Amino acid sequence: MTTNTLRLRVARITREAEGIQSYELVSQDGGALPEFEAGAHLDVQVPGLNGMRQYSLCNDPGETHRYIIAVQRDANGRGGSRAMHENVHEGDVLTVSEPVNDFPLLYGRSYVLIAGGIGITPLLAMARVLERTGAEWVLHYCARDADRTAFRELLATPSFAGRVHIHHDGGDPTKGLDVRALLATRGPGTRLYCCGPAGLMKAVREAATLHKWPWEKVHFEAFTAEGTSATHATAEVDFEVALKSTGQVLRVPAGKTVLNVLRTHGVKVESDCEAGSCGTCVTRVCEGTPDHRDTFFQQESAGDARMLVCVSRARSKRLVLDL
């Protein structure tokens, strides 16, 4: 998905909360950077490590003179966040991708944003956009305590007043945000965006299911302190999909998605993000076992009757889809 890489100078490092630093990245010649949208991230080559780490952009997408990412140090992680905190200094030059957006802010009449920990970053960019456009929105931000609440001063400014609700649970999730109560009501056309640790996402997913939120209006992005979106370690193998309406059988090879194959054969399925986060391509599964590789059904034990065909694959040799 990533195309060009950029070499950007670290103009400023700011302590945003205990264990959380933000990094302001600018072009080396002072020129404008490629534009980005709320929800986008950068793939960052962290000095001293192999591979890239993904960090969401949290500044205003209207800015073209800088990118800001934030990184939470995780002593038990794979080393990316520690290396960012220890090895990156102001004035250093980092190799990063152009912005990539797997978590786009789609049109809605109103928005509920729920962030946990460092998951605040993409939602902060969304809040900035929503505020500017005059949309109806509310942000619930869950953190352990005030010291671990990033961007606290910014979120207390008048432009966010009345919209931002910060919840401190002291490390006990039962004392934090009551997502069931929060999601019990919703206005028509309301979209829900959630980014945070697995426990929060699971609670939000269960509450959204309980209160019958439409799947296509609920969007998740998994972020660990390592800054890595939900990834899927399972190797890709070929499998078959059969179309219930015609009996046609199509082979899905490794490296191709079900959505790709359906399109190639003229089968229309609506899609949007094509990254497993918006729910638009949800398709009923009549037979077989899907391998959920999205951020939506991934942790659902009872989620086998539907799948997101833009990213998910099969655990069985064949799936029969209700198409």
271 binds ligand FES per the rule CB under 6 A: yes
State the DSSP string of 18-52. Answer: TTEEEEEEEETTSPPPPP--TT-EEEEE-TT-SSE
**Which token pair is 290?**
């899907």
43 binds ligand FES per the rule CB under 6 A: no
Q: Which stretch binds ligand FES (CB under 6 A): 132-140, 204-212, 226-234, 271-279?
A: 271-279
With a CB cutoff of 8 Å and minimum separation 6, the contacts of 126 are 38, 39, 105, 111, 113, 137, 193
Rounded to the nearest whole angstrom, what is the least distance from the CB of residue 280 to ligand FES in the complex?
A: 4
Max intra-chain CA distance, the chain:
61
278 binds ligand FES per the rule CB under 6 A: yes
> Residue from 310, 319, 320, 323 that binds ligand FES (CB under 6 A)?
310
* Distance of alpha carbon 211 from alpha carbon 193, whole angstroms: 16
C-alpha separations of 5 from 32, 71, 227, 229 in Å = 15, 20, 18, 19
Rounded to the nearest whole angstrom, what is the least distance from the CB of residue 313 to ligand FES in the complex?
A: 13
308 binds ligand FES per the rule CB under 6 A: yes
Q: Which stretch binds ligand FES (CB under 6 A): 60-68, 118-126, 237-245, 276-284?
A: 276-284
323 binds ligand FES per the rule CB under 6 A: no
117 binds ligand FES per the rule CB under 6 A: no
143 binds ligand FES per the rule CB under 6 A: no
Residue 259 in 3-state DSSP? helix
**Residue number, 22 or 56, with CB nearest to ligand FES:** 56
276 binds ligand FES per the rule CB under 6 A: yes
Residues 230 and 119: beta-carbon distance below 8 Å: no
> Residue from 19, 108, 227, 279 that binds ligand FES (CB under 6 A)?
279
Rounded to the nearest whole angstrom, what is the least distance from the CB of residue 60 to ligand FES in the complex?
A: 25
Q: Which stretch binds ligand FES (CB under 6 A): 56-64, 81-89, 231-239, 270-278?
A: 270-278
**Residue number, 21 or 312, with CB nearest to ligand FES:** 312
**Which token pair is 44?**
């960052």
Rounded to the nearest whole angstrom, what is the least distance from the CB of residue 257 to ligand FES in the complex?
A: 9
Token pair 């890709």: residue: 236
Phi, psi angle pair for 38, to nearest 5°: -55, 135
202-206 long-range Cβ contacts below 8 angstroms, 24+ apart: 202/299, 203/173, 203/179, 204/114, 204/179, 205/296, 205/299, 205/300, 206/180
262 binds ligand FES per the rule CB under 6 A: no
The residue ranges that bind ligand FES (CB under 6 A) are 271-274, 276-281, 294, 308, 310
